[in-house]
Amino acid sequence: MKVIVVGSGKIGKFIVESLVREGHDVVVVDNSVKVIDEITNQYDVMAVCGNGADWETLVEAGAEQSELVASVTDSDEKNMLTCFMAKKLGARHTIARIRNPEYNDSSLGFFKEQLNLSMAINPELLAAEEIYTLLKFPSAAKVETFSRRNFEMAELKLRPDTPLDGMKLFEMRQKYKGQYLVCAVQRGDEAFIPDGSFTLRAGDRIGITATRSEIARLLKNLGAMQKQARNVMILGGSRTAFYLAKMLLASGNQVKIIEQDREICRELCDSLPKAVVLQGDGAQQEILMEEGLEQQDAFVALTGMDEENILMSIFASNHKVPKVISKVNREEMARLAEKLSLDTIVSPRKIVSDIIVRYARALRNSEGSNIETLYHLMDGSAEALEFHVNAGSPVIGMPLKEMKFKKNTLVAGIIRQRKAIIPSGDDMILADDNVVVIGSGVRFEDIADILA
Amino acid sequence: MNRRRVFYTLGLILDTEAVLMLIPAIVSLIYGELRSASMILLSSAVAAAVGSLMMLICRKRRSAIYAKEGFVIVALAWLSMTLFGALPFIFTGELGVIDAIFETASGFTTTGASVVTSFETMSKGVLFWRSATHWIGGMGVLVLMMAILPSDTEGSVHILRAEVPGPTFGKFVPKIKKTALILYLLYIGLSAVETIMLLFGGMDLFESLIYTFGTAGTGGFGLSGTSLTNYNPYIQWVVGIFMVMFGVNFNLYYLVIMGKIRTALKSRELWLYLGIIGSSVAIITIHMHNLYQTFGDNLRTSFFQVASIVTTTGFATADFDTWTGISRAVLFMLYFVGSCAGSTAGGIKVSRVILLGKIIRRDLRHMVHPHSVGVVKFEGRRVDDNTLRGVTSFFVLYCAVLGSVFLLLSLFEPDTDMITNMTASMATLNNVGPGLGKVGPYMGYSFYSVGSKIVLSLSMLFGRLEIYPLILALSPGLWRRK
């Protein structure tokens, strides 16, 4: 499938990488020769140097025959114009990155309709939403939601003192009863789709699918439940920080934001009157201590520098802040941060590329089922997809135990009429169900891909 | 340097070559030459065995190809292809070892310089292989490998860039595999058309295939010492026009097929290329002084030689060494120009000549107006400084290599005149084939000594790969383990 990615900055490059790995024909448009050189050396893509909103450039990139145009440059206006032009030229679908808060209110719907956008994505807002979910549910290192939050997958890091150490999964099920499923385990750099005889170890990162309340109950039984964060300190006054603070304040939490730039501080004060905005260098530890870092429930590092975020997060962890979340964009940095025992890392560009990959994959897939959500789990070595199953799919109406699945795949949940079912061997998939599937080393395009 | 990956790919290339050798074996069988058929099969088996062994030892681990691996793979691939491609000549005993290597190098690099003195004693299968190397070498064996073999393509753009001639390399579809496939489909398509047209001219299938291979790869191996002189005018016109067509950048054909004829016709390189051909033909025809019977004969003969030299093919329909001084001088200049980038031809390439001219103009203006800011534009877009620097340093290296080859030849051949040695160096480095003097269009390279033949073989490889890959592969720094 032909995809054009306009803008190859931090986010764009990551999207290109994921799309190439998916096997799409990717054309990259960027106005810097240097970036173009770099990207054509690194990935199997064609590149066009020029302004993406320019008619000639779009024609050269082949917008007419393209299925999807994703415009992710720094400039919202340019992205909108690019998508508008591409659509007029005949691109089938367009996605624009629109991140200015001014455009992200009620005017967004108008833009989308007028410009015929298939999707508008706001990486900062998406990151803020993810962080918000984590703050509401701090025991998990990561929470992915399916089917409009009716069903969730929580990733937990098993601490050294966990009662699960050395326990086989079927023993765990006997000891901690409930409607949940351990569907993926990451140990070191390897990801497993475990069966009942799999033995858990301390230090594993496990993925559990269940409803929110079931996950909470399990965590309570395991003694790993943390209470919701009420007092949150945010480092850096970025757009993500703004969106996050807004959500937190709206649900009655205390928020402190530390930002260096006086002008940004003023703007934040103006738009978030209930927040405490502090001007100062967040990398200076005295300021954090003075503002009561040790009394906070959570610390969120959202500056533009991965390194600073990691360092200050380590500092906060050492001062026993119960929940520390850091924004880290570069993948190798994220790995490093995990080695330094920071378990909760949020990467806006990964969130965005997951969304675009899902969109592209859904466009390619045939009838039978629609991809509703897609997440890359466990550093990208496994993926979780939610399909809406249409009548006529070959998976319908057969008990799961009678179906032959591919290796390393798992049906992790069935959502029927907004009720989640943790499937056992006797359960069946019916038409109009939403089904969550986990796989490692498999690329699903259709629900039928789980069958061997 | 990722040696495993380099040698794994080399093994793959040898296996590909082994498969390709099966075709001449079949041709031999058709003509009932059992001995040569079995000898060609033996060569194929040797290549396959060595290739598979290399692949087995260097089984692939996940690893990428970077720029340096790209250069080294291309250089070593061409060297080993040449060595193993010489086996059919050696095993059948039709050529000596050094002669066989020279002939194969000349074949793969599409030079067309030959040491064969008697075509009658050679078997059809070996003759077929000799010409088939032109066709394979024209578009490049690594491009072929990329087009047909499923492999992870990470970094393989470095290989294509090192193998496809020209200052820059542009993909015309996003996927490298598809780009390579399209290149080969165009190549096969054009070749098929030429073969059919030659069949109409009265050639048999074998002959028309041989001459198509020679034309398509812009090589120049024929079936007799007098090349195409004794064929009818229709065939000479067909071959002449197809030589010009194979000298055009293949991207333009893709544009035409996609219905973007206007974009294709905007190419400055194309027009300059056609202009050079047109004006050269005009000058030479005027100075023919009715050397041949009619004006038509004059025009055809001069067009054919000009097309043959400018596309670096090296076919001949006349002994141009007997022409007037100005005619020979024009042909002499054409040796350097070569054809368009992205074609199968050798030489400096028209686009490099254009860029060199523009760089000189910019620098001259800069001397007069020291504060002027110069931007070089080509085909409607700005050329970045890296490409420009690449073009100038290529030209300097090119002259250096040419000088070294000339010096070495003169050293090894004290009795040969300078014109012969000079044009032999040029004809091999530019992959043309025939030169002037003792290496003229009706002569061969058989009189050269062993040392000279090795130098000339290397010169041909330098020319085909546009110098850089071989120089880099020979530099020890690239091989050092850290």
ipTM of this model?
0.74
Residue A367 is predicted with a pLDDT of 47
CA atoms within 13 A on the CB side of A38: 13
Nearest to B175 among A37, A40, A44 (CB): A44
A327, burial (CB in 10 Å: exposed 0-12, middle 13-18, buried 19+): buried
- Nearest Cβ partner of B176 from A2, A27, A44? A44
| Interface residues from chain B to A (CB-CB < 8 Å) | 67, 153-158, 171-176, 178, 381, 384, 386
Q: Compare CB distances from A27 to B153, B155, B174 and report the shortest one's residue.
A: B174
Give the SS3 label for residue B93. Answer: coil
Percent of chain B with pLDDT over 70: 95
Interface probe with A: pick from B384, B387, B388, most Cβ of A within 10 Å? B384
Beta carbons of A70 and A356 less than 8 angstroms apart: yes
Q: How far is A21 from chain B (nearest CA, A)?
A: 10
Q: How many C-beta neighbours within 10 Å does residue B150 have?
A: 6
pLDDT tens-digit series, residues A90-111: 888 899 998 888 887 778 888 8
Q: Cβ of A25 under 8 Å from any chain B Cβ? A: yes
Provide the residue type at B375 as one letter.
Answer: V
pLDDT digits (tens, 9 = 90+) for B346-378: 888 888 889 999 999 988 988 888 888 778 888
A230-234, A433-437, B387-391, B477-481: least confident range: B477-481
Search chain A and give the residue with CA nearest B67.
A41
Closest Cα in chain B to A46: B174
Q: Which residue is closest to B152 within chain A, CA to CA? A: A44
Distance (Å, rounded) from C-alpha B462 to C-alpha A385?
Answer: 53
Inform me whether the pLDDT recorded for B153 exceeds 60.
no
- Assign A167 a pLDDT band (cuts: 50, 70, 90): confident
What is the chain A residue with the closest CA to B255?
A60
Check B178 against A25: CB less than 8 A apart: yes
DSSP H stretches of helix in B369-417: 385-412
Nearest-by-Cβ selection for B173 from A33, A41, A46: A46
Average pLDDT of chain A to the nearest whole number: 84
Question: A369 falls in which pLDDT band (50, 70, 90)?
Answer: low
Locate the chain A residue with the closest alpha carbon to B64: A42
Chain segment A235-257, per-residue pLDDT in tens: 888 888 999 999 899 888 889 89
Q: Which residues of B419-434 are buried (b: 16+ CB within 10 A; e: fewer)?
A: bbbbbbbbbbbbbbbb
Tell me which chain A residues have a C-beta less than 8 angstroms from the C-beta of B156.
44
Site from B171, B251, B379, B388 to mutate, A interface, most A CB atoms within 10 angstroms: B171
- Cβ contacts below 8 Å, chain A against chain B, sum to 28
B429 with B463: CB under 8 angstroms?
Answer: yes
Residue A189 reports pLDDT greater than 80:
no
List pLDDT tens digits, range A112-150: 888 888 888 888 888 898 888 888 888 787 888 877 777
A41 contact B CB<8A: yes
Q: Cβ contact (<8 Å) for B174 and A25?
A: yes
Q: What percentage of chain B has pLDDT greater than the value 90?
A: 40
Nearest to A46 among B153, B171, B384 (CB): B171
Q: What's the average model confidence in pLDDT over B62-78?
A: 81
- CA distance to partner chain B, nearest, from residue A115 (Å): 27
Tokens for B235, please give them. 């065939």
Which residues contact residue B82 at a Cβ distance below 8 angstroms, ignoring those fewer than 6 apart? B101, B104, B105, B108, B457, B461
Summarize the confidence of residues A293-319 as an average pLDDT. Answer: 87
> Within an 8 Å CB–CB cutoff, is residue A189 touching chain B?
no
In DSSP terms, B344 is beta-bridged to none
- Asked whether A183 and A251 are in contact (CB, 8 A), the reply is no
Looking only at the bridges linking them, the beta strands covering A119-121 and A93-97 are parallel
Does A35 lie at the interface with B, CB-CB under 8 angstroms?
Answer: no
Query: Measured between alpha carbons, how far is B114 from B100 in angstroms, rounded to an integer?
Result: 10
Measured between beta carbons, the chain B residues lying within 8 angstroms of A49 are: 381
Q: Give B175→chain A minimum CA distance, Å.
A: 6
Q: Residue A40: which of B157, B172, B381 has the nearest Cβ? A: B157
Q: Do B173 and A26 touch (CB under 8 A)?
A: no
Is the sign of the CA dihedral A383, A389, A393, A399 positive or negative?
positive
Distance CA(B205)–CA(B202), nearest Å, equals 9
**B320: pLDDT strictly greater than 50:** yes
User: Which chain A residues are within 8 Å of B175, Cβ to Cβ?
Assistant: 25, 44
**Structural domains for chain B:** 267-333 (no CATH), 350-478 (1.10.287)
Residues of B in contact with A33 (CB under 8 A): 384
Which domains, and CATH codes, for chain A? 2-121 (3.40.50.720), 128-222 (3.30.70.1450), 231-321 (3.40.50.720), 353-450 (3.30.70.1450)
> Would the pLDDT of B41 be above 90?
yes
B175 and A25 in contact by Cβ < 8 A? yes
User: Which chain A residues contact residue B386 at CB under 8 A?
Assistant: 37
**Structure pTM?**
0.81
Cβ–Cβ < 8 Å for A446, A369 = yes
